[in-house]
Chains A and B, each alone.
Chain A
Amino acid sequence: AQKITQTQPGMFVQEKEAVTLDCTYDTSDQSYGLFWYKQPSSGEMIFLIYQGSYDEQNATEGRYSLNFQKARKSANLVISASQLGDSAMYFCAMRERGAQKLVFGQGTRLTINP
């Protein structure tokens, strides 16, 4: 069964520093997608970045990049030059081929300090 593990309940980072949020996953499928979402206190889940299991390059979207290590089954999110507005819950999620559902981790609460 697919499972997502986020081991950092909370992270505190100084503004303008880079931060890495950890995500490990478990699946027996060879074809899957990995997603990161940001959830501010308002509740809406905001899509950040996607990585496919067959993608050879790490995904990047502006200040967000995904450190994808397939053999270790990890998909860590890296946020460069953090900003106060980055303070939020961050969720890692996975979708297997042929499945419709996203499976989410428990999330990491990121706090950016000025």
Chain B
Amino acid sequence: DTGVSQNPRHKITKRGQNVTFRCDPISEHNRLYWYRQTLGQGPEFLTYFQNEAQLEKSRLLSDRFSAERPKGSFSTLEIQRTEQGDSAMYLCASSKQGTDTQYFGPGTRLTVL
């Protein structure tokens, strides 16, 4: 049984650099979500895909953020020109259409120096 996987688990970058994270959902899960969690807070919704279509984006997702799910399987989240305020845990979750449960991956912890 393979759950949601995320890579890398940790990323340290300098301010102004671009970073890309990958999420592999549970197979046959057609919905995929990205959340961001800062220290001491609950996760905040960023964006959501159904198959390859990006159906909703939070206003938290500035123009520097872009997410894709080109073939309806894995997804990538790219942050351009990173800022120190982008430091957070980026969580991916997936769910199967017709069910409510979202299964979360272990997250990618981003540190922007």
| A, B: real partners | no
B-contacting residues of A (Cβ < 8 Å)?
none
A-contacting residues of B (Cβ < 8 Å)?
none
